Amino acid sequence: MSAPLGAIIEDIDISNVDAAAVAELNKLFCQYHVLVFPKQQLTPDQQVAFAQYWGELVPFPYGSLPGQPNIIELRNKGKKRDVNQHWHSDMTYDPNPPKLTMLYALQAPALGGETAFANQIHAYEELSDGMKALVDSLTAKHSAKDLARLYGQDPDQASEAEHPVVRTHDETGARALYVCQAFTREFKDWSRQESKVLLDYLYAHCVRPEYQARHQWQAGDLVMWDNRCLLHYAVHDHGDDPRLIHRLQVRGGAPR
Ligand SMILES: O=C(O)CCC(=O)C(=O)O
Ligand SMILES: [Fe+2]
């Protein structure tokens, strides 16, 4: 798909795979972090069945598709109402954030509405040894309070969690930066102001263009990404052009 990340897998019908095929696909997933399967024709049940090969599904805390508790609909309701226009890894405010997110496009804009990704293994690798040693020692607090407000829910009920600032991928052992502007609040045992100085540096560093790739959607694309080592951003530059996606996510372990 691009130099920093992503593989496009053609000539496969993911509604008709078995565990052995998924084990092969998982090797590619661990290597490329984003898999794109173009030209699929999936019912919600078929998307769920494919996703269940990768693990247990996690409902999104802020709503679902009727009759499909594990799927939410992403629909273009205008730029002002798009809550995903920021760099993030999904649900880092949860003690066990989803390891992967899977989107299936039913309708895509002619141009724009891309999803951007940034490789956080590269972002970590390119820090100096001194900065690596510092971030290796840190824990960060993550919070869903701002998100809860956006969904009109009580921020006091929103999840919060603490995670290492650098996490080790449970399948490959790769080390990746794990902070995001959307949900990271501050470092444990640091003040908010002290944290801001270093977080602002890391936020600028972790999405340098050479770590990024973008996916331009076509109807029928199934795209899955690895939240353990990527950030993503929903680019809203398609005005009111329809964009309709079915989204689900697969449970992950506690980041370590
Ligand atoms: O709509 C997109 O491109 C991605 C939205 C997003 O952040 C997500 O589904 O987790
Ligand atoms: Fe997201």
At 202-256, the pLDDT tens digits run 999 999 999 999 999 999 999 999 999 999 999 999 999 999 999 999 999 999 9
Residues, CB within 5 angstroms of ligand 2 (ion): 90
3-state secondary structure of 138: coil
At 160-209, the pLDDT tens digits run 999 999 999 999 999 999 999 999 999 999 999 999 999 999 999 999 99
Residue 241 lies in a domain: yes
Q: What is the pLDDT of residue 109?
A: 98
Residue 2 lies in a domain: no
For ligand 1, say whether the CB of 215 is within 6 Å of any of its atoms: no
Q: Atom 4, ligand 1: which residue's CA is nearest?
A: 234
Atom of ligand 1 nearest to the CA of 217: 3
Atom of ligand 1 nearest to the CA of 235: 3
For ligand 1, say whether the CB of 243 is within 6 Å of any of its atoms: no
Q: What is the pLDDT of residue 60?
A: 78
Residue 149 lies in a domain: yes
Range of the domain at 48: 7-250
Q: What is the pLDDT of residue 61?
A: 73
Amino acid, single-letter form, for residue 240: D
Q: Atom 10, ligand 1: which residue's CA is nearest?
A: 90
Residue 1 lies in a domain: no
Number of domains the chain contains: 1
- Size of the chain, expressed as the number of residues it contains: 256
Residue 256 lies in a domain: no
Cα–Cα distance measured from residue 164 to residue 151, given in angstroms and rounded to the nearest whole number? 27
For ligand 1, say whether the CB of 89 is within 6 Å of any of its atoms: no
Q: Atom 8, ligand 1: which residue's CA is nearest?
A: 84
At 110-155, the pLDDT tens digits run 999 999 999 999 999 999 999 999 999 999 999 999 988 888 899 9
CA distances from 182 to 14, 46, 80, 86, 87 (A): 32, 31, 16, 6, 7
Q: List the catalytic residues.
A: 88, 90, 232, 247
Atom of ligand 1 nearest to the CA of 243: 1
Question: Token pair of 145, please?
Answer: 């309070």
CA distances from 112 to 74, 75, 78, 212, 216 (A): 15, 14, 13, 16, 7
Cα–Cα distance measured from residue 254 to residue 98, given in angstroms and rounded to the nearest whole number? 9
Question: Token pair of 222, please?
Answer: 């199934």
Q: 241 C-alpha vs ligand 2 centroid, how far in Å?
A: 20
Q: What is the pLDDT of residue 59?
A: 84
Residue 184 lies in a domain: yes
Cα–Cα distance measured from residue 160 to residue 49, given in angstroms and rounded to the nearest whole number? 30
Pocket test for ligand 1, best of 247, 248, 249, 250 (most atoms within 8 A of CB): 247
At 53-94, the pLDDT tens digits run 999 999 877 778 888 999 999 999 999 989 899 999 999 999
Residue 255 lies in a domain: no
Residue 121 lies in a domain: yes
Atom of ligand 1 nearest to the CA of 232: 7
Ligand closest to 112 (CA) is 1
Q: What is the pLDDT of residue 64?
A: 84
Cα–Cα distance measured from residue 148 to residue 154, given in angstroms and rounded to the nearest whole number? 6
For residue 40, what is the domain's CATH number? 3.60.130.10
Q: Do residues 105 and 218 make contact, with C-beta atoms less than 8 angstroms apart?
A: yes
Pocket test for ligand 1, best of 101, 106, 181 (most atoms within 8 A of CB): 101
